[in-house]
Amino acid sequence: MQGVNSLKQGERQEMVVQEAGPRPEHVAIIMDGNGRWAQARGLPRIMGHRAGMEAVRRVVQSAPGLGIKYLTLFAFSTENWRRPRLEVEGLFALLREYVEKETSDLKAQGVRVRFLGERENLPQAAKKVIERCEAETAGCTRLMLNIALNYGGRAEIVRAARALASRAAAGQLEPDAITAEVLAAELYTRGMPDPDLLIRTSGEMRLSNFLLWQLAYTELYFTDVLWPDFTQDDLAQALAAYRKRERRFGGIQNRG
């Protein structure tokens, strides 16, 4: 059988669709490498972020055809505020531009959009466009697109713990009744399955405070491809690698 890496461009996606085997229902992606992509071309970093928006468009369009029902993208972390002010302002300008331009197309494609993260200190203009996008796509069911914005995994867990502590202090919840399921119901991803597969681009091999609770048993896939260069074929290759994994969730291999 022809190897995945030797397939011509455009053939990997078709191969993944036709192959039997488990498919990840929920895929999370750390979209890394925009700045390096721009620097390698002698361009301002913001141009790398703009090119990264095109990669977002490609992946969102191809995800449902590959059997993905939930797609969670790490767009802006709680630590990203430390970046130069002009870069942060440019990122939020690009976000508004993308959301305003894409909302109608996303709705037409059956994509529901949700933004995960703290919103209190977001620019007011950004809050307005993301709330409008969420409202306009609320009835879509083909793909759930989660965009992690001003998101941090530790902050999310602390937020959930505080909510449970408040309920316990008010006599609404017995401490002994707090289980993993109860805590998970306080997370931004409540009601969704945990990611089956995490993809990180650009060759970095760390989680960077992303979905720390949800990734407990997720399969990890790292690629040297910079995010702006990430294509439908790269996504298909990641899914093909996933199918070769055996997920035991702490158990042992079932050999029959």
pLDDT for the residue 3: 46
Q: Is residue 128 part of a domain?
A: yes
Q: Is residue 159 part of a domain?
A: no
Question: Residue 30: which H helix or E strand, with range?
Answer: strand 26-30
CA–CA dist 57, 223 (Å, integer): 19
Number of independent structural domains in the chain: 1
Q: Is residue 144 part of a domain?
A: yes
Q: Is residue 15 part of a domain?
A: no
pLDDT for the residue 117: 97
Task: Write the CATH number for 46.
Answer: 3.40.1180.10
pLDDT for the residue 2: 42
Amino acid at residue number 90? G
Closest among 144, 149, 140 to 116, alpha carbons compared: 149
Q: How far is CA 95 from CA 8, 54, 115, in A?
A: 33, 12, 12
User: What residues are annotated to the active site?
Assistant: 32, 80
Per 3-state DSSP, the chain is made up of helix, strand and coil in percentages (nearest 5) of 45, 15, 40
Structural domain harbouring 147 = 23-152+195-243
Per-residue confidence in pLDDT tens, the chain, 256 aa: 344 454 455 555 555 555 667 899 999 999 999 999 999 999 999 999 999 999 999 999 999 999 999 999 999 999 999 999 999 999 999 999 999 999 999 999 999 999 999 999 899 999 999 999 999 999 999 999 999 999 999 999 999 999 999 999 999 999 999 999 999 999 999 999 999 999 999 999 999 999 999 999 999 999 999 999 999 999 999 999 999 987 766 665 655 4
pLDDT for the residue 246: 78
pLDDT for the residue 184: 98
The alpha helices in 6-77, defined as continuous H runs, are 11-18, 34-40, 45-62
pLDDT for the residue 8: 56
Q: Is residue 165 part of a domain?
A: no
Q: Is residue 250 part of a domain?
A: no
